[in-house]
Amino acid sequence: DVQLVESGGGLVKPGRSLRLSCAASGFTFSTHAMNWVRQAPGRGLEWVSSISDDSDYIYHAESVKGRFTISRDNAKNSLYLQMNSLRAEDTAVYYCVASRWYFGSVYWGQGTLVTVSS
Amino acid sequence: DIVLTQSPGTLSLSPGERATLSCRANQSVSSTYLAWFQQKPGQAPRLLIYDASIRATGIPDRFGGSGSGTDFTLTISRLEPEDFAVYYCHQYGSSPTFGQGTRLEIK
């Protein structure tokens, strides 16, 4: 079975940092692009960051550019999101998403909650 | 960035009825890189449609997607009780974006 398990969420003060991890299993991690998508409480989905299968291409939403960094380790089947200078508006459930659109292969984790509050 | 606007915001229908959900982009979506997701409370989204019209694995054929360019539609031919949820369109070209969602509720 495909599994994407996020970890690293929690309560953090504004201006501090947090690192999210996502452990993947049950599919060929190295052939999928990986993404972070977030959802603020009671709100819609917001794309945050993407990284290509070989890490050659990295994209971040304007709202997090310069503060968040996405990375992956194909040897460990793991995805990461380093979040610096956190703001209250970054409060959300962060989902790890694997995508290989050509084949319609898209998998979501269950999400990890990040709360930024003093 | 491509802005996706979904309509209506809320759709109230009864089981057995047909649902038509719209997603309009402010500029052309490249190569029909348009998907639809379904999300139920407390759950992660589930892929229904990709490339505008291709059903994902395991998705019932009552779900159908159509459109190109800037106008896309998700149609659910006959609503089942489990179809009442929030639906999001998503363009997955460079700089991906989501629509704001359409809530499909039981009338």
pLDDT per residue, tens digit, chain B (107 aa), is 899 999 999 999 999 999 999 999 999 998 789 999 999 999 999 999 999 999 999 999 999 999 999 999 999 999 999 999 999 999 998 789 999 999 999 99
User: Do the Cβ atoms of A110 and B92 come within 8 Å?
Assistant: no
The Cβ-side half-sphere exposure at A62, using a 13 Å CA radius, reads: 4
Is B94 part of the contact surface with chain A (CB cutoff 8 Å)? yes
Residues 69-108 of A with CB under 8 A from B: 95, 99, 101, 104, 106, 108
For residue B7, what are the β-bridge partners? B22
Q: In the prediction, which pLDDT does B73 show?
A: 97
Question: Do B54 and A95 lie within an 8 Å CB cutoff?
Answer: no
Residues of B with Cβ-Cβ distance to A45 under 8 angstroms: 37, 39, 45, 88, 90, 98, 101
Chain B partners within 8 Å of A44 (Cβ): 88, 98-101
d(CA B91, CA A43): 18
pLDDT at A79: 98
Kindly tell me if the per-residue pLDDT of A80 is higher than 80. yes
Query: Are the beta carbons of B45 and A47 separated by less than 8 Å?
Result: no
> Would you state the pLDDT for residue B38?
98
What pLDDT does residue B42 have? Answer: 94
A46 touches chain B (CB under 8 A): yes
**Is the peptide bond prior to A14 cis by the omega test (within 30 degrees of 0)?**
no
Confidence at residue B32, expressed as pLDDT on a 0 to 100 scale: 81
CB atoms within 10 A of CB A91: 17
Q: Which two tokens stand for residue B101?
A: 């969602």
Q: What is the mean pLDDT of chain A?
A: 97
CA–CA gap between residue A43 and residue B67 (Å, rounded): 26
pLDDT at residue A65 tops 80: yes
What span, in angstroms and rounded, lies between the C-alpha atoms of A95 and A38? 6
Chain A residue whose CA is closest to B50? A104
pLDDT of B58 reads 95
Q: How far is the alpha carbon of A44 from chain B, nearest alpha carbon, in Å?
A: 6
Neighbour-count burial for B13-35, b at 16+ CB within 10 Å, e otherwise: beeeeebebbbbbeeebeebbbb
